[in-house]
Amino acid sequence: MSDAIAELKGEAGVLELHRKFLETGAVPAFRSINEKAIARFEELGFPHPKHEMFSYVNTHEITSTPFQLGTGTVEPAFVDANTYASCEKSRIVFVDGAYEAGLSNTTGLPQGVKLVPLEEALTQADIKTHLEKTIEEENDFFACLNAAFLKGGLLIDVSAGTIMESPLQVLVTGTASKTPTAHHPRLFVRAGRTAEVKLITKYVGTGGGYLVNSMQDFLLDDGASVVLARVQADHAQSWHAEKSRVYQGRDSRFTALCGSGGNKLARVHNEIRLQGEGAEASLSNASVLIDDDQSHHFIRIHHEAAHTISHQLFKNVINDKGRSSVDGTVIVNEGAQLTASHQLINNLMLSDTAHADTKPNLMIFADDVKCTHGATVGQIDQDQLFYLKTRGLSEELATELLTTSFVESLISQIQFPEVVVDLKNLLLKKLEVKSD
């Protein structure tokens, strides 16, 4: 009962904040999107605890916290410290949801990569239509709120045939705040025919107290490729919501390898639509959660055409009172014959109070497909531990080696060496501290 009242209060709070936003902070170009999105949010409301999309994610703290819109600043030194060396001339920076051209440096990008402020990009009919249409179909209240408070953002427009040799880094920064603030960064990535796009998104904070509610659209034309590495390194005392929508044309490839450090509540929603024949998507994530860290993944992959392929691999190491969930459904549409789909979720539990929910799920409406899925929840493998001990390694060292190796095998597949090193520092260090 008390929950219902709190949620009502929370929704009313959001609507009030939105009214103020439209009066003072909104950008006219986004007005119709803002209004459509808040209307959709009003229809959806905050999720009931048994809502399918949030069955493993307790949003109570977020929905009952009165957030203001964040408008902080960061020092250039902070941005530099979080920039990968190979991205010094190809980085774009968001601070509290707003694109900061002054902190960004895009002089190293190839000619075929155009960065267009989203309000300008809205003059292109297909972009505008896409944004409006996705709001009507949106069932995730986080994504609705991103659109409701949308006032900027960036289109990364990669022309046909353009090949990015080195990655573009997107640094999303939240600023420390004593009273809770929310911000809503937005990216739109359009990869032209046979373009090859390399992206690194990194999420950081100058301190706690912020909610980053990020939204990305990826449109891949025929034969295009997007390689994404994602580093979720938010402050432990923050909240992280994120949604990626991926639309894939014929023979396109989308590869995302991600690492999550978790925070008070990190929740990532991936919606991937394999629309053209031969399209392939690969989604992997490694999380290391300690203390009260949480990291949740909600995945829907739609095989809408024949000969499409999807891979998913999730690895979570959970200690203390950490919580993780992976809720992934692969939907193979009628007619999407000869598709292949693999999904594997592995959890390594290091304490009695660690918690993992896994829901690998298949919905198949075609009859000639190859789909596998599985999940494991376990402790350290005793055969592996014994093997290492017979080589003279102590129990402690062998355990540490097995714990780190559990995520390292995934992280090491990332093709950007600096990100591999960064994720090792971020994730594996969390495990070292605990074994001391």
Partner 1 sequence: MSLLEIKDLHAGFEGTEIVKGVSLTINAGEVHAVMGPNGSGKSTLSKVLAGHPSYEVTQGSIIYKGKDLLELDPEQRALAGIFMGFQYPVEIPGVNNAEFLRLAYNAQLVSKGEEELDPLDFDELLDEKMKLVGMDPKYKDRFLNDGFSGGEKKKNEILQMAVLNPSLAVLDETDSGLDIDALKVVSEGVNKWINKDNALILITHYQRLLNYIQPDFVHVFGQGKILKSGDKNLALELEKQGYDWVVTETAN
CB of 401 to partner 1, least distance (A): 6
SS3 153: coil
Amino acid symbol at 127? I
Residue closest to 242 by CA, chosen among 273, 263, 224 = 263
Are 209 and 177 in contact, with CB atoms under 8 Å apart? yes
Secondary structure E strands in 221-293: 225-232, 239-248, 253-260, 265-274, 280-289
- For partner 1, give the closer residue by CB, 199 or 414: 414
The residue (of 171 and 344) whose beta carbon lies closer to partner 1 is 344
**From the CB of 258, what's the least distance to partner 1, in Å?**
17
Asked whether 228 and 257 are in contact (CB, 8 A), the reply is yes
User: Contacts with partner 1 in 389-428 (CB under 8 A)?
Assistant: 389-395, 397-398, 401-402, 404-409, 412
Q: Which is nearer to partner 1, 284 or 333 (CB)?
A: 284
Q: Which is nearer to partner 1, 58 or 413 (CB)?
A: 413
Structure tokens given for 152:
């900027």
Q: Quick one: which of 16, 6, 10, 298 has its CA closest to 149?
A: 16
Quote the least distance from Cβ 289 to partner 1, whole Å.
18
Nearer to partner 1, 33 or 426 (CB): 426
Residues 345-384, interacting with partner 1 (CB under 8 A)? 381-384
The token pair that represents 236 in the structure block: 């432990």
Whose Cβ is closer to partner 1: residue 176's or residue 401's? 401
Q: Which is nearer to partner 1, 7 or 408 (CB)?
A: 408
CA 436 to CA 434: how far, in whole Å? 6
State how far the Cα of 345 lies from the Cα of 329, in Å rounded to an integer.
12
In whole angstroms, the minimum distance from the beta carbon of 410 to partner 1 comes to 8
Q: Give me the helix-helix angle, 31-44 and 125-137, nearest 10°.
A: 10
Minimum distance, C-beta of residue 344 to partner 1, in the bound complex (Å): 12
Residues facing 115 on adjacent strands: 156
The site that binds partner 1 (CB under 8 A) totals a number of residues, namely 25
Neighbours of 85 (CB within 10 A): 7
Strand ranges for 252-354 from DSSP E: 253-260, 265-274, 280-289, 294-303, 309-318, 323-332, 340-349
In contact, 252 and 279? CB cutoff 8 Å = yes
CA–CA separation, 376 and 23 (whole Å):
51
**Of the candidates 134, 132, 135, which has an alpha carbon nearest to the alpha carbon of residue 42?**
135
DSSP 8-state class, residue 163: B
Give me the least distance between CB of 392 and partner 1, in Å please: 4
SS3 331: strand
8, 387, 421, 435: which one binds partner 1 (CB under 8 A): 387
Q: Which is nearer to partner 1, 194 or 413 (CB)?
A: 413
Nearest-approach distance from CB 382 to partner 1, in angstroms: 7
Q: Where are the alpha helices (DSSP H) in 295-391?
A: 382-389
Q: How far is the CB of 359 from partner 1 (least distance, A)?
A: 24
Place of tokens 């000639």: 368
Report the residue number, 305 or 398, with the smaller CB distance to partner 1: 398
| Residues in Cβ contact with 141 at an 8 Å cutoff, skipping those fewer than 6 apart | 41, 44, 45, 46, 47
Residue 247 or 406: the one with the smaller Cβ distance to partner 1 is 406
- Shortest reach from residue 194's CB to partner 1, in Å: 32
Element (H, E) at 429: helix 429-435
Beta carbon of residue 86, minimum distance to partner 1 (angstroms, whole number) = 22
Min CB(202)–partner 1 separation in Å: 23
Q: Residue 160 or residue 388: which is nearer to partner 1 going by CB?
A: 388
- Residues of this chain that interact with partner 1 (CB under 8 A) are 381-384, 386-395, 397-398, 401-402, 404-409, 412
